[in-house]
Structure 1
Amino acid sequence: MPRVNLPSDNVEYPGLGVLIAGHFLEKDTYQTRRVNGMSDWLITFTLSGEGYFIVDDEKITSSQGDVILLMPKVPHQYGTREGSEWNFMWVHFSPELFETNYLSGENLVKLTMENKHIQNRLSQAFDKLILDYRERNNYWFELCQNSLKEILLLIAQKQKYSIEPRVEEVLHLLSKQMSESFKIEELARKVGLSPSRLSHLFKENVGSSILETLKQMRLNQAALLLEHTDRNASEVAVEVGFQNYNHFAIQFRKRFGISPRNYKKSAQ
């Protein structure tokens, strides 16, 4: 949780810390050097081109999809790699603004977000952060905090709970189009794997098969709809992707220990 609560109409820099963000496109003459480090955290997300960071005499390249997380008080240098342009989003924020114990304790962390869905989520979160920071409308700082929190959690998720990027993409496809029919061959083609290889990787990373995972997604969504909407059990079955009601009812009872209709009655 954020550690400060500033007035929503405050359009100056926060008195207890800094939260600033931007989007740069820089040629290879761009360079920043801080021999004593800085008091803030720095996060960069490379959209295209290449940048570099030098920390502890080690030079690290940042390319498309790379996130760099730099801790406060670490001497560093960064800039655009020679012969390239660097298109990147960035944010500085003071340590007191957010709890960061769940992040890696290394001076510099580089994460490559191979999954296009996660790249898009990061880009959208940065876009919202930058726009709210620039516009300074009511609640701008709280909105910036929300966007930054999403960025930090996506980074933490990648650090601690990362799964194979192609499996991650399949999970995204299943959740986004849960009610549609899927063939493993089609999913495999979309992520560039053979059906057998995808099935093996998926179970290895997720712990259950693709079809079992999809079934559980559908049943969980069905329970939510039964509990919080006026749809009846037959309508819910079709909406979440079950074309045969009897099959849906059997699977629902196995999952929740009660029939869909009685589940709805109990919720009401």
Structure 2
Amino acid sequence: MLSSGTPTLAGHYGFYGSGMAPGGTYQLLGQEHLDVRVHISPELFRSFAGNLDCELPPELQHLIRPYTQTYYHHIGITTPTMQAVLHQILECPYWGISKRLHWESKVLDLLGMLVVQEVEMRDGNHPLHSLKPDIRERLHRARELLLQRLDNPPTLIELARLVGLNDCTLKRGFREVFGTTVFSYVRSHRLEQARQLLQIGDMNIKQIAHLVGYADPKSFAIAFRKQFGLNPKDYRKKRKYSV
């Protein structure tokens, strides 16, 4: 019932309900594409309702349709938190039953995030299309500037000035479009940069921590483990033996 049933662009997710799949074929040409798919039966999904009748709340009932109706689907942008959970699934350090329990817990984390967004959209608290096109363009420009200056990102007020927005519009709009705060976005991408540097192996962990903006290696290790499920030393060791 929950699946990325058709290929999605990098950085996007597909959330699908049960029902009849429409006809058609899908191709991604000239692209390397990693597609993580999770399928949950309608019966299991209903069991999370928390009541004796396993009845879903009204704002989620559209997710389960009879097989004579086309299924519901929604394409969205993966947030840094979603990306972190996906990394924890792909880089699982456990084996046997521990690995299965780890995977199941992370899948439930993802499901919870998707359901929260779904409920917010149904309640009108997540107005995906409320921003004008020119403001969306400025928000995407703000993201580009952050990625270009990860080592020394601008302050919120400076970033707002650079893209021609006030700081309130920048904060609200950035969260609406990218699903996270400016601060969380920078932190997530700094840690992703650190993960890639750990894979290369040319720098020690303290050097990497300083390069991505952490003066204290211990704080870096805590943040890295929270995002990827392993501390930097164990992650590097695991990658070394898996190559």
What interval of TM-score do these two structures reach, taking the shorter chain for normalisation?
A: 0.3 to 0.5
More helix as a share of residues: 2
Instruction: Work out which of the two has the higher radius of gyration on C-alpha atoms and give 1 or 2.
Output: 1
Higher RCO by CA contacts (8 Å cutoff, separation 6 or greater): 2
More strand as a share of residues: 1
Question: TM-score, length-normalised on structure 1?
Answer: 0.38
